[in-house]
Amino acid sequence: MPKRLAYLGPPGTFSEEAALLYDPAADLLPVPSIAAVAAAVLTGLADEGIVPIENSLEGSVSETLDLLIQESSLYIRREVVLAIHHVLVVKPGTRHTDIQVIYSHPQALGQCRRYLDTLFPKVRREPALSTVAAVEQVLTSPVPAAAIAAGRAAALYPVEVLARDIQDNPNNFTRFVALATADHPPTGDDKTSLAFTYTIDRPGLLHEALGFFASRGINLAKIESRPTKRELGRYIFLLDLQGHREEEAVKGAIADLTRQTSWLRVLGSYPRWQGVR
Amino acid sequence: MPKRLAYLGPPGTFSEEAALLYDPAADLLPVPSIAAVAAAVLTGLADEGIVPIENSLEGSVSETLDLLIQESSLYIRREVVLAIHHVLVVKPGTRHTDIQVIYSHPQALGQCRRYLDTLFPKVRREPALSTVAAVEQVLTSPVPAAAIAAGRAAALYPVEVLARDIQDNPNNFTRFVALATADHPPTGDDKTSLAFTYTIDRPGLLHEALGFFASRGINLAKIESRPTKRELGRYIFLLDLQGHREEEAVKGAIADLTRQTSWLRVLGSYPRWQGVR
């Protein structure tokens, strides 16, 4: 039976591209929000759910981090790294000199700014609520229009691709995570994600916390903070480290950290993404 | 002569509220983006510029952090903490039972979700590009509509306030910073913001970095990471600490950190916000 895989829809988004990269044979279930991906997994509607967690230009996706902090029965089971390629699409037959307006999500417009400045310096840019909404606006536009979208949108909508790979920075990658009700068994090349916080505040707390890993030679891949939502200036820290929570060194560091913090949650151990970066 | 203060416009936003809270006598200059605030200060069009840097529910404003990382002649001169109060506005005379659609920025809709679920369970919610755009949509809507916006918008637009303080979480604060071409002299109760990164990667680097502050009893107020934009998994770290860069302990820690990192920038020392939180 194919895996039922929920993702942040609609079809035609980079999230759908990530879902297809993760498991081309999966039964894909588009849902309307990151919270809905979690709900689909927690209620058994889907076996796993794919959500974006970090982009190499924009940084972390706060909504996903907050979801992992809150949902104590949701775990990271896998990671998937997708190269982001933006395409410029138009209604079939539209020539690039005809284009009077270019629609896209503000982030996509920003990531293609130099391209637009160079090739479409005088064309109006209109922010849209998503790259897929931008494609729909092109199809109903009374004047010749273009949209910046994911390549996947061009495969699903009756549009023509005028240009590919129009993003300014070639180092544009998004890391997605597959969420499930359990994490992944050890494979020998794994990562572990943790979240923790303190109720007290004194100099050196976080230094001590990182010391549990440094003293065991465990490399940290990432450190991030999120607001506790109770008081400005109080944070929940998120760590990604190399190794699996069942490995002795990692197990020891987590035990020390559990004693030192007021709250800790292991968000999951999962294989490091091996795809081409 | 009043201070010329740039802020992220248009008028009617929380940024304008912050600018008025910071300096009610200032000559306010609304500009269209966070980058434009920086440009106004760097070119001398404005003396200072106010930008949001962190919200107690949503976390850091990445665009501001990236700006501070990139603009080496821009410094944090002050911080301002604004309590976020959302209001529900309508065209004058509209009753709450008439409302057929509620417009706002997705973040504002999210921050008032429980209120809307309780009082407007069947009313359609429409995302808008900003809270001010939402107010403008209410004014041109063919059906009775409402917008969630800043109190300041209600003072500037011909709308009526139906309800105040409709945000679900009372701990909703945004920290703004005033940017200038120089930071602030010591006052005895200051904060310092730093950014730094490494070209190498080995276990314990960040632990060592935090040790320079812990060993001197310097409290860290915040740690954050931003992508370097060159490679997924490489970060620039941002620290807020208690104390001024001219104080001996802070000066020593920064000197140690400068030697240990491949790049470091002091984003500024500035008085801790003393307003009611």
Superfamily of domain B4-84+172-180: Periplasmic binding protein-like II (3.40.190.10)
Domains A4-83+172-180 and A86-164 share a fold: yes
Tell if the CB–CB gap between A225 and B226 is shorter than 8 Å: no
**Domain A4-83+172-180, architecture per CATH:** 3-Layer(aba) Sandwich (3.40)
Distance in Å, alpha carbon of B243 to nearest chain A alpha carbon: 12
pLDDT above 60: residue A276: no
Q: How confident is the model at residue B277, as a pLDDT?
A: 45
Q: How confident is the model at residue A201, as a pLDDT?
A: 83
Chain B residue set in contact with A, beta carbons under 8 Å:
54-59, 62, 81, 127, 129, 169, 171, 173, 175, 201-204, 206-208, 210-211, 213-214, 217-227, 229-233, 235, 237, 277
DSSP state of A97: G
Mean pLDDT, chain B, integer: 94
Question: Using a CB-CB distance cutoff of 8 angstroms, which residues of chain B are in contact with residue A198?
Answer: none
pLDDT above 90: residue A205: yes
At residue A47 the predicted structure's pLDDT band, cuts being 50, 70 and 90, is: very high
Distance (Å, whole) CA A228 – CA A69: 10
Report, as an integer, the average pLDDT of A41-68: 94
Tell if the CB–CB gap between B171 and A219 is shorter than 8 Å: no
Catalytic residue among B174, B192, B197, B261: B174
Please list, in sequence order, all residues whose beta carbon lies within 8 angstroms of the beta carbon of residue A130, skipping any fewer than 6 positions away: A13, A105
pLDDT above 80: residue A275: no
**Active site positions of A, annotated:** 174, 176
Supply the angle between the helices B34-42 and B62-70 in degrees, to the nearest 10. 30
Enumerate residue ranges in chain B where pLDDT < 50. 277
pLDDT above 50: residue A169: yes
At residue A269 the predicted structure's pLDDT band, cuts being 50, 70 and 90, is: very high
For β-strands B48-55 and B59-60, DSSP reports them as: antiparallel
Place of tokens 């982030």: A107
B176 catalytically annotated? yes
**Which value does ipTM take for this structure?**
0.87
pLDDT above 70: residue A74: yes
Report, as an integer, the average pLDDT of A3-24: 95
Token readout for A220 is: 């940290």
pLDDT above 60: residue A277: no
Please list, in sequence order, all residues whose beta carbon lies within 8 angstroms of the beta carbon of residue B90, skipping any fewer than 6 positions away: B96, B99, B138, B144, B145, B146, B147, B159, B160, B162
Token readout for B22 is: 């910071």
User: If one looks up domain A86-164 in CATH, what number appears?
Assistant: 3.40.190.10
- Comparing CA positions, the residue from A178, A11, A148 lying closest to residue A82 is A178
Question: Using a CB-CB distance cutoff of 8 angstroms, which residues of chain B are in contact with residue A277?
Answer: 232
Q: What does the pLDDT look like over B118-129, one tens digit per residue?
A: 999 999 999 998
Distance in Å, alpha carbon of B66 to nearest chain A alpha carbon: 9
Please state which CATH class domain B190-271 belongs to: alpha beta
Nearest to B129 among A127, A169, A173 (CB): A127
Q: In chain A, what are the domain boundaries?
A: 4-83+172-180, 86-164, 190-271
Q: How confident is the model at residue A203, as a pLDDT?
A: 87
Distance (Å, whole) CA A33 – CA A260: 35
Question: Using a CB-CB distance cutoff of 8 angstroms, which residues of chain B are in contact with residue A219?
Answer: 201-203
Q: What does the pLDDT look like over A232-258, one tens digit per residue?
A: 888 999 999 999 999 999 999 999 999
Q: Are A88 and A162 in contact (CB under 8 A)?
A: yes
Q: What does the pLDDT look like over B141-156, one tens digit per residue?
A: 999 999 999 999 999 9
A147 to each of A134, A160, A257, B65, how far by Cα in Å?
Answer: 6, 10, 48, 29
- For chain A, what percent of residues have pLDDT higher than 90? 89
